[in-house]
Amino acid sequence: MNKLKRNAGLIWIMLGPTGMYYLVQTAATEIAKKPGIDTQIQWGVFIVVFLPIVIGFVLFGVYALTGNYDHLPEDSTELDDYDAKPI
């Protein structure tokens, strides 16, 4: 299962920038179709909102790839002894 989590980390790392690329490409296409300030603002907001989500995808993937999710605590007593691995 840990191997699956680490391989899924690679998928998350690739999913973030790929999604951002397609979002920007779609925004450029839509702005070219209907060049107006309302369209530019709309797609600008979409990109600004999606950017932190992309960063989260990549960080989640990095943590999965480095093994930070190999052992998840099963009860609250394990939280006190948990030492997170630095990246």
Report d(CA 76, CA 87) in Å as an integer. 24
d(CA 61, CA 12): 5
Say if residue 80's pLDDT is above 80. no
DSSP E strand boundaries for 1-87: none
Quick one: pLDDT at residue 4? Answer: 83
Q: Can you say how many angstroms the Cα of residue 24 is from the centroid of all Cα atoms in its chain?
A: 16
pLDDT value of position 44: 93
List for the chain the helix, strand, coil content (%; round to 5): 75, 0, 25
Q: Smallest Cα–Cα separation from 57: which of 14, 7, 5?
A: 14
What is the pLDDT averaged over residues 71-80? 68
